[in-house]
Structure 1
């Protein structure tokens, strides 16, 4: 069977978007390769400051280019427990000392819309030293030039990134254009962005019987196309009395098309053709804003957000057999999702230098699903079949209160403490639906210790409540694999208790390096569990142990005589150990990341506008376990790239990348069992799909 089409699509998309050491936009004047490598200047509060001159050799066009060239710093775009409200900051980038409060604009996107000429400097700060709840480790504070854009002119940034892949439709529509400037004292940003992908892969899949003997070989071809045009507007203004307001509005269409086709000659059926199709035509919009004003001895900030998403999805799987005729199944689902959030924050600083913040947040989240499972009839129509999950509605009402305290305990030691509690009421009307309420404490304590001028130790301990995927409450059918998940109305949000210790070393002219050790004890992680003697679905697991070691850094090669060259590295090893709900034995969490290695080389040739380099990327995941199958998704070989870049082609930066030099392939193995996976094997499958070498062009500039 052509299983896991959606996961295959995700993997192909991830590989298609990855580009080690990518430099999105760079704004050159004259050749600047002789400029020294970026070197930080120590400033107050232990921060390391980078000025625009430190990035001259890269000729940056946007703030993103500058932040990406800070030695040893990587932009973190994670979310707070899977987008659980607005809550605390989760990205390690601030703009003018403030976090990016929008849930639809991440740090990379926000920085890519700021031209390099608008940046006054970038400070790398220890998160625990800031009055921004949730931040730990290294944080980049991008400070803009005072009055940037006040001349009335608009700055426009452009990024266009076409791709040409073998056997796949050319991708001409991936890119973004945004413009920002001031109108009557109000900062205005308009953006049109399309995250387009044209991905695919092809190759054989082998089916074996329960003894491991080959039954047949299926030749497969998968194609995954998507267009996600988004139009957004942002307004910001600081009034004469120092009050600030921001307003954001955006709308998006998502048109996704996926297909996997296979042909084989099978015993008893002759020639067999299989066709899996997936379509999604989504539209969504969001509106939000915030207002900050002075109140008493502090500042009051009010934040509001509303998001809505309408997503009709159709999966169809049709099989044509030379002997046995045609059969097919269709699963369709229409989902409406809504999120409403109101948050208030009051912050102040005492005369003794202590930072305080009190915050209240309320959220209302909904999911309304209409689904249908149908079988193909002889006349070509589809006849609906009852499967028990035709209608599901999920609602969550949640409120949260928090208190944050932060101060310097010593000239080289800062601390931040956040104490919070949330109340939530969760209602589901699907299978096993009921209404439940929870009261859960949470919080975080962080320390940043400046051991020496170039050495920092960061540590935190945290209790976090994660967001459930509301679709796990609804039943679904995997028509390609003949599998299904029952809806589970008993789900509860996972809780993660974790601690992390990080060592950061400034290597001066050699660069920067860090290593972090993390451990977490998780309660109620979500994985595949038995819902009845014959059904399975998503459910909560007993306590689990989470381990992670991460090392990252930048090695500048100028001291070795290789002027303008640098190596970036980001390597993570992790294990998420859970109790198997079927065997009660310890195992790795389904499809959990085991390791990732991301290495890149970049050389800006002195005295020229030319740069070249390459990247190496490899990643592994643990097997995914259903109660009746074990599925292993992986890649065969690393993803290797090479690029050459010119920083001034008619005022634009042009970068040409040759990708997948090592010929990485997508692999997937599945062992299916007669009943449960602790019993006899029914059959097994193993596939390899290649996607070949291909070219990617990145054109960036400012107007």
Structure 2
């Protein structure tokens, strides 16, 4: 399949954005400086959004407000990155980065009441004294004035194959007591899902092998208690403590009735479930030291996943049942210690940072087969048991300077030392030393136009589970272990262009080119199996255009459209076929559009959204395929902002009946020499998705 798809829409919109269109400035100055605190005046050169700007949306929290900032898209950063590292999320609060790795930026913003938000500033990350930031960054200025609470409750249903969703939402309390600020929240991610429909299986000649009538249903709950405490010892000495504990409960049930052309019909039952606790303890303290400030950060997090999978096939001719049972327990943890020392010298911002991170995984797996007496017996599976640890140390020196009133520079340089050890049947130990760093420039020739460019050397994060073997019962395949796996490295060149069109809205163009070394994908093992491994050099071009179009200038007051379009080009040599292809399970393109109309002089709003995407095929030794949902999801909603002081929203999703689609082709020998054994094609019904959310304050 040709993965170089058309991007004419993105190109045309980008050209319009970059055109010279006279527009009024959102900010009062051209320059940007350090982020403001809650009592400071707005940052020079920033686009400033006061609470009055958001009144028509009746926001309940900071997340509701930030979602309405034109052309701004929240980036949670690299929560799965190596350790804490430098800042990557594009949101700050009172000029400080979020330090939690378990709570997302959106989670934490949703717990800040809208009444506590003084303003939101949009600045260029390169102009800040926080290394790692680039492009547009939102600085949310918050002033807690007393205790307040908020809640949201989400309920809903899907008419086919799912239980009702009843217990989703969050309740949080935030406030202060003297020098102590606190936030306490209790939440539950409550999700129900399911599909049904046919799967057709044909052989290499296209002749029918069997048809399957399938039904899939599942559920997920994640009750979580999270707290954040901030203690201000003095204006220059501030400490934070983050605590989080939660448990995951996930399960799915798949039934299959197979009408077989040759042989007995088959009835299949597959049960999968997973549960386990997770916690995070993190904190930091910042205080003056010598000519600058020292920040000390510590974090400990742990997660245990208990996974079970049982598959049983029964036959119409009375033959003995066949089946398998797979169990796996993963205990994963991370411990981090970090310091950041920043000072000003030669009219520039400097920072020296160091980090020690200790990651660990302990895995226990077992596989059993069903015998003719209906009893499960164990099969040796040594490759699925063992542990992996990584001890990593990093040092980075950062430099940032305003070169001219319109041009700023940020540079970082450093290195990391890493030792990876594996235990079990394929014990191994290796040491790596790798350089890291970045160089970025930000140019702001006018208050309504800015450009930033960054070149960065990255070291990727390994998934420790790839070192050890695992099994997928439903697809009758699995991954072997690979004790020679190493992190990928990459050069990344990124450009971001932002343009404001005043009352009409604004737009953002991002272009990111990455050149990878030791890229990780499926690769062949010498024993005839396959595993996740390093397959060589690769590259990827990412083009993204996002923006907001406001319709007030044409008289349609309160109406706006937010959009984001993504196109990717990729190139990697397939280790099985030797042909160039895209990255397995990556993305060709994606389009999101959200329309909202807040009816003037009323408490009503309505709107619709569109989401469509095209994923990349996966490529394995004995099979290839692609699974997705589409072609497009369209949702509609209606909202009332004052239901006894609360906000109610009714959303009906998937009104155009997008379906669960996919195919996989399995070969009788290694690709490309193997002949097609069979091809499965699925086309299953999802149905409408109804959600009602009620939110308020107390």
TM-score with structure 1 length normalisation?
0.92
1:285-304 to structure 2, matched below 5 A, reads 285-304=279-298
| In the alignment, structure 1 residue 441 sits paired with structure 2 residue 435 | yes
Deviations 1:161-198 (A, max 9, x none): 11210121000111111111123421121111111111
1:389 counterpart SS class: helix
Instruction: Determine the structure 1 residue equivalent to 2:55.
Output: 56
Instruction: Determine the structure 2 residue equivalent to 1:73.
Output: 72
**Contact 1:611-1:645 at 8 Å conserved across structures:** yes
Instruction: Determine the structure 2 residue equivalent to 1:165.
Output: 158
Instruction: Determine the structure 2 residue equivalent to 1:106.
Output: 104
1:480 counterpart SS class: coil
Deviations 1:617-667 (A, max 9, x none): 001111011100011112232000000100111111111011101100011
Supply the distance in 1 between the matched residues of 2:226 and 2:496 (Cα, whole angstroms). Answer: 37
Task: Identify the match of residue 593 of structure 1 among 587, 599, 608.
Answer: 587
Alignment length (residue pairs): 659
Could you tell me which runs of 5 or more consecutive residues in structure 2 were left unpaired when the two chains were aligned: 1-23, 33-44
Deviations 1:354-379 (A, max 9, x none): 11110010011100001001101234
Supply the distance in 2 between the matched residues of 1:416 and 1:518 (Cα, whole angstroms). Answer: 18
Supply the distance in 2 between the matched residues of 1:234 and 1:76 (Cα, whole angstroms). Answer: 21
| In the alignment, structure 1 residue 313 sits paired with structure 2 residue 299 | no
| In the alignment, structure 1 residue 185 sits paired with structure 2 residue 179 | yes
2:234 counterpart SS class: coil
1:12-31 to structure 2, matched below 5 A, reads none
1:701 to partner: Cα distance: 1.4
Supply the distance in 2 between the matched residues of 1:249 and 1:307 (Cα, whole angstroms). Answer: 10
1:240 to partner: Cα distance: 2.6
Supply the distance in 2 between the matched residues of 1:126 and 1:136 (Cα, whole angstroms). Answer: 7
2:53 counterpart SS class: helix
| In the alignment, structure 1 residue 427 sits paired with structure 2 residue 426 | no
1:431 to partner: Cα distance: 4.9
**Contact 1:39-1:54 at 8 Å conserved across structures:** no
| In the alignment, structure 1 residue 532 sits paired with structure 2 residue 526 | yes
| In the alignment, structure 1 residue 140 sits paired with structure 2 residue 138 | yes
| In the alignment, structure 1 residue 399 sits paired with structure 2 residue 385 | no
Instruction: Determine the structure 1 residue equivalent to 2:27.
Output: 41
Deviations 1:579-600 (A, max 9, x none): 1111222111111111110001
1:196 counterpart SS class: strand
Supply the distance in 1 between the matched residues of 2:546 and 2:668 (Cα, whole angstroms). Answer: 45
1:284 to partner: Cα distance: 1.2
Supply the distance in 1 between the matched residues of 2:58 and 2:533 (Cα, whole angstroms). Answer: 51
Deviations 1:491-541 (A, max 9, x none): 000112110112110111111111122211011121110011411111011
Deviations 1:126-161 (A, max 9, x none): 01001111111110000113xx23xxx421111111
Supply the distance in 1 between the matched residues of 2:258 and 2:501 (Cα, whole angstroms). Answer: 58
| In the alignment, structure 1 residue 581 sits paired with structure 2 residue 575 | yes
Deviations 1:79-110 (A, max 9, x none): 16x33100011110000000001112221111
Instruction: Determine the structure 2 residue equivalent to 1:688.
Output: 683
1:545-584 to structure 2, matched below 5 A, reads 545-584=539-578
1:388 to partner: Cα distance: 3.2
Supply the distance in 2 between the matched residues of 1:390 and 1:692 (Cα, whole angstroms). Answer: 38
1:270 counterpart SS class: coil
2:657 counterpart SS class: coil
Task: Identify the match of residue 544 of structure 1 among 538, 553, 557.
Answer: 538
1:39 to partner: Cα distance: 8.7
TM-score with structure 2 length normalisation?
0.93
Runs of 4+ off more than 4 Å: none
1:554 to partner: Cα distance: 0.2
Deviations 1:599-622 (A, max 9, x none): 011000011010100000001111
Supply the distance in 1 between the matched residues of 2:27 and 2:154 (Cα, whole angstroms). Answer: 35
**Contact 1:273-1:319 at 8 Å conserved across structures:** yes
1:280 to partner: Cα distance: 0.7
Supply the distance in 1 between the matched residues of 2:362 and 2:277 (Cα, whole angstroms). Answer: 15
Supply the distance in 1 between the matched residues of 2:626 and 2:137 (Cα, whole angstroms). Answer: 36
Supply the distance in 1 between the matched residues of 2:475 and 2:92 (Cα, whole angstroms). Answer: 45
Supply the distance in 2 between the matched residues of 1:430 and 1:83 (Cα, whole angstroms). Answer: 26
| 1:609 to 1:647, Cα distance in 2 relative to 1, 3 A | same
Deviations 1:315-363 (A, max 9, x none): 111111113331000110111111100000001123x531111001001
Q: RMSD of aligned C-alpha atoms? A: 1.4
Task: Identify the match of residue 695 of structure 2 among 689, 694, 700.
Answer: 700
**Contact 2:577-2:671 at 8 Å conserved across structures:** no
Supply the distance in 1 between the matched residues of 2:444 and 2:272 (Cα, whole angstroms). Answer: 53
Task: Identify the match of residue 94 of structure 1 among 78, 92, 95.
Answer: 92
| In the alignment, structure 1 residue 327 sits paired with structure 2 residue 327 | no
1:261-660 to structure 2, matched below 5 A, reads 261-323=255-317, 324-350=319-345, 352-660=346-654
| 1:493 to 1:207, Cα distance in 2 relative to 1, 3 A | same
Supply the distance in 1 between the matched residues of 2:599 and 2:584 (Cα, whole angstroms). Answer: 45
Instruction: Determine the structure 2 residue equivalent to 1:32.
Output: none
1:452 to partner: Cα distance: 2.1
1:65 counterpart SS class: helix
**Contact 1:392-1:473 at 8 Å conserved across structures:** no
1:194-233 to structure 2, matched below 5 A, reads 194-233=188-227
Supply the distance in 2 between the matched residues of 1:591 and 1:510 (Cα, whole angstroms). Answer: 37
1:689 counterpart SS class: strand
Deviations 1:654-688 (A, max 9, x none): 11011101100011101000011212111111001
Instruction: Determine the structure 2 residue equivalent to 1:4.
Output: none
**Contact 1:618-1:637 at 8 Å conserved across structures:** yes
**Contact 1:193-1:229 at 8 Å conserved across structures:** yes
**Contact 1:39-1:509 at 8 Å conserved across structures:** no
| 1:377 to 1:449, Cα distance in 2 relative to 1, 3 A | same
2:596 counterpart SS class: strand
Supply the distance in 1 between the matched residues of 2:229 and 2:242 (Cα, whole angstroms). Answer: 7
Task: Identify the match of residue 128 of structure 2 among 130, 133, 152.
Answer: 130
1:42 to partner: Cα distance: 3.1
Supply the distance in 2 between the matched residues of 1:245 and 1:645 (Cα, whole angstroms). Answer: 40
**Contact 1:431-1:488 at 8 Å conserved across structures:** no
